[in-house]
Chain A
Amino acid sequence: MTDFLRVAWIVMRKDLTVEMRSREIVYTTVFFAASCVLVFAFALVREGRPLEDAAAGILWIAIAFAGTLGLGRTFERERHTETLRALMLAPSDRPAIYVGKLLGMLALLAVVEAVLVPLVGIMFHASFLASPLLMLALLVTGTIGFASVGTLFAAMLVRARSRDVLLPVLLYPITIPVIIAGVRGTAALLQATPDEPMARFWVSLLVFFDVVFVTLSLWTFEPLMTES
C-alpha cells in the first residue's frame, strides 16, 4: 500500500514539475475558462442583469470545458514525448499510475476553479460564500467525478486516431450526472435563502458517483492500457 501511494505521489510530482517549468497548460486552460465565461455572458445576460440560475450553469460548463482542454493537453504532452509508454513499462502497479495522473489533473483543475469561482461570482452577482463548506464540497466531489472518468478516457485515447474529437464525444455523455448534480447543487446554494438539504443531497449523489467511477477506473485501467 505504501508502495502504491509512493508511485502515485511520484507520478503526480513529475506532472506538476513539468507543468511548473513551462506553465503552458495552466495559463491556457485558465484563460480558456475565463473566455468561456465571457461567451456565456453574451448569451445569458439581459439588460445588464444575468438570468436566474445562470451562474451555476456557467460555472460548471466552464469547468467541464476547461477540464477537457486540460486533459487533452496533459496527455498530448505524454504522447508527444512517448513518456506514457515509459510510465507503463515501469515495474509498478498500473492503477498507481492512474491515481498519480488523476491527482495531477485535480491539482490543475483546483487552480482553474480558484480563478473561475470568484470570476463567475463577481460577474454574475452570485454569492458563492453563502454556505462556503457545502460549496467547497460540491466543487471537490464534482471535480473528482469529472476528472476520474476524464483521466481514464484521456489515457486510453492517447493511442487512438482522432483523439481530440473523441475525448469530448466520450466524456460529456458519461459525466452528465456530475454536471446535473453540480449545477443543481450550486443553484440551490445561490438562492436568496440557500437550500442546504438539497445541496447536501447533491453532494451525497456526487460522493456516490465518485466512489463508483473511481473504482471502475482502477478496475479497468490495467486491461485498457495493456497493448495486446
Chain B
Amino acid sequence: MTRFLTPLAFLLMVLFAAAPVVVAYTPFEQTMGLVQKIFYFHVPSAMMMFISAFVCGIASAVFLFRKSAQADRLALAAGELVVTFGLIVMTTGPLWGRKAWGVWWQWDAKLTSALLLWMIFIAYLLVRRFGGPGAEKLGAAMAIFGMANVPFVYVASMYWRTLHPAPTVVPSLQPGMRGPFWFCVASFAMLYVLLLTLRRRIEDQQASVEELYLALED
C-alpha cells in the first residue's frame, strides 16, 4: 500500500507543475476569455467532492452495519476531503460567476445542492469533533442521510431556475479544450486518491497507537 505512494506523489508534482502550462495553451473561450480557464480546476474539484461524498456515505453504511473500524476511518478521511475539495469549488465558482453572470452567487440548482452537500459534511466534521463518545455513529448517520439528501435538494432547487452550465458542456468541449480538461481531471483524481490514502493511514496509525497505549496500561 505504502510503496506506490511515493511515486504517485512524485507524478502528481509533475502533473500539477505542468497543469498551468497545459491550461495556458488551451484556446480562449470567446465570451469569457481568461476567466473560463477556472473551469479546468473548478469542475475536477467538484467531481472529486461528489465522489468523496459517496465514498464517505458508503463507508459509513459499511461501518454502521458491519461494525468495521477501518470503514469508519475511511469515512472520516473522505468526509474531510469533501470539505477540502468543496472549499476549492466554493472559491473558484463565485470568481467565475462574477465575470459570467455579474454576481458572486446565484440560487441555482447546482450551486444550492453543492453548497448544501458541503454544509452537510462540515456538520459531519463538527459532529465527529465535538460529539463526544459515540460520535462515529452520529457522523455515520449524517453521512448516509446527507448522501440520500442530494437528489432531493437538486430537484427542489431546479424548480427555481437554472443558470449553471449543464453537464452536457463537458462532451461538447472543442478538441483543444478536451485534452487539458481530462488532464486536470486525472490529476485531481490522483490527488484525491493520494490524500485519501494518506489521511486514512494517519487514522490507522493513531488507532494502533491507542491500542498499544491501552495494552501498556493493562
Contact = CB atoms under 8 A, between A and B. Distances in A.
Nearest to B65: A223
A114 interface: no
Given A170-B142, A180-B156, A223-B64, A162 B132 contact: yes
B148 to A, nearest CB: 6
Interface string B58-77: 00000011010000000000
B144 A161 contact: no
A216 B144 contact: yes
Q: How large is the interface on A (under 10, 10 to 19, 20 to 34, 35 or more residues)?
A: 20 to 34
Interface stretch (B11-19, B79-87, B115-123, B184-192): B115-123
B120 A161 contact: no
A157 B134 CA distance: 9
Contacts of A224: 64, 137, 140-141
Interface of B, secondary structure class, is helix
23 contacts: A153-B141, A156-B137, A160-B127, A162-B131, A169-B123, A169-B127, A170-B127, A173-B116, A173-B119, A174-B120, A174-B149, A180-B156, A181-B156, A184-B159, A205-B155, A205-B156, A208-B152, A212-B152, A216-B145, A220-B64, A220-B141, A223-B64, A223-B65
Given A177-B149, A224-B64, 14 more contacts: A152-B141, A157-B138, A160-B127, A160-B132, A160-B134, A161-B130, A173-B116, A174-B120, A174-B146, A180-B153, A208-B152, A216-B145, A223-B65, A224-B140
